Copies of this chain bind each other. A is one copy, B any other.
């Protein structure tokens, strides 16, 4: 398990992202940790992230799964290249598709935990699966296809 969150190792790559940007004070600011075969994120919702009082909103769930899975794809790509996360040149992935199955309502009386794994890599596309747990109960399953892009995607050179 890395000591620093992936989001804090890659400088300003996604600095203002609503889901994971460390500098977005209105955002969700998730922190993802990669252990070599799994990435983990514990996240505490605010009251206003509800769907209805006490139940976490499905869009917020999709948002944290999306960002966590993209960061998992990024971490795995660095690992495959034998490089430290954050080393130059930066590795950038974006979401190609997102699928979320809501198995049961997710209570908001504590933090939720995301656990993601690499399912497959095909060329520039990495498929990542993710489960969301409230306590020990798996309430949501997601799958993200992340696509590797150049840093020019962000309008940078």
Contacts and interface: CB of A to CB of B under 8 A. Distances in A.
A27 interface: yes
Q: Give the interface size bracket for A toward B.
A: 35 or more
Nearest to A49: B18
Identify whether the interface residues of A are mostly helix, strand, loop, or mixed.
mixed
Interface string A8-25: 000000101111000011
A17 B66 contact: no
A52 interface: yes
A100 interface: yes
A155 interface: yes
Nearest to A141: B97
B66 A59 contact: yes
Given A58-B98, A98-B98, A99-B98, A52 B18 contact: no
A14 B66 contact: no
A18 B59 contact: yes
Interface in A102-157: 102, 105, 153-155
Interface in A23-39: 24-28
A17 to B, nearest CB: 5
